[in-house]
Amino acid sequence: MFDRIRKLSGHTYEHLNIIEISASRLNHNYNYLSSLKKNIKIAPVLKSNAYGHGLLQIAKIVDRLNPPFICVDSLFEAYELLKANIKTQILIMGFISPKSLKTKKLPFSFVVFNKELVDAISKYQPHAKIHIFVDTGMHREGVNLDELPSFIKYIKTKTNLEIEGLMSHFAKSDDPISQDTKNQVDNFQKGILILKKNQINPRWIHIANSSGVLNNDYFEEKIGNMARTGISLYGTDPEGKDNNLKPVLSLKTHIAQIKKIKIGEKVGYDFTFTAKTNMTIGILPLGYNDGVQRELSNKGFVLVNGKYCRIIGKVSMNITTIDLSNIKNAKVGDTVIVYSNNAKDKNSIENTAKLCKIIPYESLIPLTPSTKRIIVK
């Protein structure tokens, strides 16, 4: 019945909700992405709790794959990896408050795009290596291309920091033939040329994300020697075309209660579901707090004993109700697959995202960190 238990304060604690992470699938995806372009190294992106999969769980797997970097967004995430004895070099891509660098010597590489952060790193972490983020047209973070020469000069004359990398980020790499994407590639090449003119030849050049790698044939040799892959590493092609990727995650729970309702009776907040016949329903101990999209109310599916069961009524904060009428001998404690790691299933991350009219990222990120994550084969 409840097969995942641990000791908590001297007592057994039964995990009703479990996220399973497949190490073999993650390894497969990494190796597959690495095979697409031999001269491009894959740097796994583990920001936002490794896209909901679990920062430390994923880090311990990819650490054994010898990637050039593990990419995170924040100093907090980098600290968590450091405390977990992750050996791979960590690249912090997001903004850091300069005050946060007033600490012990840190073994991280930093992405920079303003003088304030350059000054802080130079003052408090002078040994650190940096990656310059150049804005190639997306117009989020990044040094404007026309300001890049003066930015480089500032680093060279005011600091002793080693420029380890030049990077940017695609806005539409899922549309590699668009003029916007071509402009970004051209601007990135201009950025590389500016560095060379200033006698700087960084070890790492990177602009590509998941779609950039999957569409690498369109970019020839213009996207550098490293790619930062997030969603594809976890088994999802943003364009939904590549069947070689294998979803890494599944979310499982257990039936907490079974009850009968009669024709005409209603279910859930606002009574949005009315039984058209006598029914057997099941109560699941998880809801949108746990990452079950509220948009799945009255239209999503879960798997019970290999059969699809419809979500009925509104998904609540901690409870989801399902139709068990077609499941013979269902009982309290039976395992329920909420999100399947079979991409073709109705309740896969990709298909539930389509059903909710969102992108797969939005299905993964809300998976609460408090849900137990375990590594399976």
Active site residues: 269
- Residue 22, judged by CB atoms within 10 A of its CB (0-12, 13-18, 19+), counts as buried
Q: Is 250 helix (H, G, I), strand (E, B) or coil?
A: strand
Q: Scanning the structure block, which residue is given the tokens 């099941």?
A: 282
Identify whether the C-beta of residue 137 lies closer than 8 Å to the C-beta of residue 171.
yes
Query: Left (φ > 0), alpha (ψ -120 to 50) or beta: where does 108 sit?
Result: beta
Taking each helix axis as running N to C, give the angle between helix 55-62 and helix 75-83, from 0 to 180 degrees, rounded to the nearest 10: 60
Could you tell me which residues are beta bridge partners of residue 320?
A: 284
Q: Is 12 helix (H, G, I), strand (E, B) or coil?
A: strand
**Of 42, 31, 46, whose CA–CA distance to 84 is shortest?**
46
Rounded CA Rg of the chain: 24
Identify whether the C-beta of residue 274 lies closer than 8 Å to the C-beta of residue 266.
yes
Identify whether the C-beta of residue 82 lies closer than 8 Å to the C-beta of residue 60.
no
Encoded amino acid at 11, one letter: H
What's the distance, CA 216 to chain centroid?
Answer: 21
Identify whether the C-beta of residue 302 lies closer than 8 Å to the C-beta of residue 288.
no
Using the Cα atoms of residue 354, residue 358, residue 363 and residue 364 in order, give the sign of their dihedral. Answer: positive
Q: Is 189 helix (H, G, I), strand (E, B) or coil?
A: helix
